Structure 1
Amino acid sequence: MTHFICTTCGTQFSESDEPPPTCPICEDDRQFVPQSGQEWTDMATLGQTHSLVWNEEAEGVHSLQLSPSFGIGQRAFLIEGPDGNILWDCLSLVDEASKARIAAIGGLSAIAISHPHFYSSMIGWSAACGNAPVHIHADDAQWVQRSGSALRPWTGETLRIGQATMIGCGGHFDGSSVLHCPWLEGGRGALFVGDTMQVTMDRRFVSFMRSYPNLIPLDAKAVTAISQAVQPYRFETIYSAFPGRTVESDGNRVVERSAERYLKAIAS
């Protein structure tokens, strides 16, 4: 029995003798099935060709990424916190070196996931790190492909994880969430956004989409809701899903002016 992994989105599935017939996440219009067709791997095979690369982004913030790039190519974050360490978003591969490194800094108190595209091997990561609870928004629970006792679907607008707060924003997915960590950046705060909002190439704005690969925009109501959801929280830095896509200062104003620009563009 194998936990097959979709090579396009990186999602790990429940054990089976044969690969799943389809990947529901890739068949959704927010993702895609390659023209070459659906392909599968598993963690043991992936570990033979890929490795996990750690990078210190800031004090208490480490990014993790697969090299060479795999699936969607996102980065996860190990966030050191006053109430325990949090893994924000996930990757398809768990390696022994990363397990040891996380254990050496106190393990994980929680795994928090922004949305289904980054579920990847979240149950595998939990099992490797002391069965840390995995927090996903209940509005996206239908997209879980490998369940487990560590899974903690949450409801409502916010979830406290120690001093951190998961904020439900919607938009990209019904349960798309961001993570606010007020102790980072010398107390000025940081926001981890996954794909709920995406830092643009000039690092001066963020933008919003229903589907990034298929270029499907969000409507004004959804973008306004995202902006309003994070407005009460103070944050200097915005860490989005992909390497280099970080807003280093004035994060609150960046979200405000980005929403204003987006709404103006779709209204014209």
Structure 2
Amino acid sequence: MLICATCAVERDEPLPELCPICADERQYVPEDGQRWLTMDELTRTGRHTVLEQNEPGLIGISTEPKAGIGQTAQLVLTPEGSLLWDPVGYIDDQTVESVLDHGPVLAIAASHPHMFGVQVEWSHRLGHVPVLVADADRQWLGRTDPCITFWSGTKAITEGLVLYQTGGHFPGSAVAHWAAGAAGKGVLLSGDSVFPNPDRRTVAFMRSYPNRLPLSGAVALGIAARLDELEFDRIYGNFNNVIPSGARGVVRESAQRHAAWTRGDFDHLT
């Protein structure tokens, strides 16, 4: 198993010339070319993981220095066990021990293929727990393994913790809805289809962030309508970017604003 230096997604050998995820229009291959790394190489650079409690029952897991895209994984704790969401592209024994100190892991899932990280490696180290992959995005898997389970539409992890397929950034893009989060008001863990902006008052709907390619207004409105069926007050994005409160309304209003701009309603401002 090798890891793409740019996106930190694991891949079986034989390796392609370029990482398919990075060669796609949503990502990029760096100017200095494709590089593949081993986990040992990542370790020798002094990488380590940092666990930080975002709120009761939710722990952010990041890597310093970052591995690949540098997402923050989220460990959602429930009485039955935990969900590891958007797994990072690095893992070591200390991190495994820290995760398991919080109880058994029920499943691993990613919001979209850019966030696959070393998900199979995480599974193996955590007891061969299921890795849930949206069936619509199975073509982007770089590593196959019996631990992988495909799903579509919705997938319950345990009571009060459910995955919902929204599409958008990728056809299989998903969110995790945690009903007990935000003191019982509900938390949404999102990826690039619904991305909390730096103003903490709006979200973005993009096909590509690095290459500045938006989704259509119709798609943004469709995602918002799907999520409006859920109860949630807070959103955590895949870089620990947060909409701290009123998030359900933020998604609805942001989608309307996005659609208005793509229709040309505000062309007089340009």
Report TM bin, short chain.
Answer: over 0.9
What is the aligned partner in structure 2 of residue 27 from structure 1?
23
2:253 equivalent to 1:253: no
- Counterpart residue number, 1:183: 180
Q: Partner residue of 1:264?
A: 260
Q: CA deviation at 1:147?
A: 1.0
Does the alignment pair 1:10 with 2:8?
yes
Residue 88 of structure 1: how far off its partner (Å): 0.5
**Alignment equivalent of 2:112, drawn from 111, 115, 126:** 115
Deviation at 1:20, TM superposition (A): 3.7
2-structure distance, mates of 1:228, 1:202: 22
Report the Cα offset of residue 83 of structure 1.
2.5
AA partner of residue 197 (structure 1): V
In 1, are the aligned partners of 2:2 and 2:36 still within 8 Å (CA)? yes
Q: The residue matched to 2:223 in structure 1 has which SS?
A: helix
Q: Once the two structures are superposed, what CA deviation does each residue of 1:52-106 show, in whole Å capped at 9, x if it has no partner?
A: 1111111111111110122111110011013211101111111111111122221
Check whether the contact 1:114–1:136 (CA below 8 A) recurs between aligned residues: no
Runs of 4+ in 1 over 2 A off after TM superposition: none
Contact between 1:43 and 1:92, CA under 8 Å: does it hold in 2?
no
Structure 2 Cα separation of the partners of residues 20 and 39 of structure 1: 11
Determine which of 28, 46, 52 is the counterpart of 2:42: 46
Where does residue 70 of structure 1 map in the other structure? 67
Give the residue type in structure 1 aligned to 2:155.
Answer: L
Determine the C-alpha separation between the residues in 1 that align with 2:196 and 2:209.
12
Alpha-carbon separation, structure 2, partners of 1:118 and 1:109: 18
Instruction: Say whether the 8 Å CA contact 1:116–1:143 is kept in structure 2.
Output: yes
Superposition deviation, residue 107 in structure 1: 2.2
Report the Cα offset of residue 221 of structure 1. 2.1
Aligned match of 2:128 in 118, 128, 131?
131
Other-structure match for 2:190: 193
1-side partners of 2:235 and 2:89: how far apart?
A: 23
Structure 2, unpaired ranges of 5+: 265-270
Mapped to 2, the partners of 1:93 and 1:75 lie a distance apart of 11
TM-score normalised by structure 1 residue count = 0.95
Shift of residue 189, structure 1, vs aligned partner: 0.6
Q: Verify: 1:87 aligned to 2:72, yes or no.
A: no
Question: Are 1:193 and 1:239, in contact at CA under 8 Å, matched by a contact in 2?
Answer: yes
How many equivalent residue pairs? 262
Shift of 1:5: 0.7
Q: Is the 8 A contact 2:67 2:88 kept in 1?
A: no
Q: Sequence identity, in percent?
A: 35
Q: State the distance in 2 between where 1:64 and 1:146 align.
A: 22
Letter in 2 for 1:191: L
Q: 1:55 aligns with which of 46, 52, 55?
A: 52
Q: Identify the match of residue 213 of structure 1 among 193, 196, 210.
A: 210
What corresponds to 2:201 in structure 1?
A: 204
CA contact (8 A) 1:139 1:175 kept: yes
SS in 2 for 1:85: strand
> Would you say the 8 A contact 1:111–1:133 is kept in 2?
yes
Task: Tell me if the contact between 2:200 and 2:243 (Cα under 8 Å) persists in the aligned partners.
Answer: yes
Aligned partner of 2:174: which letter?
A: S
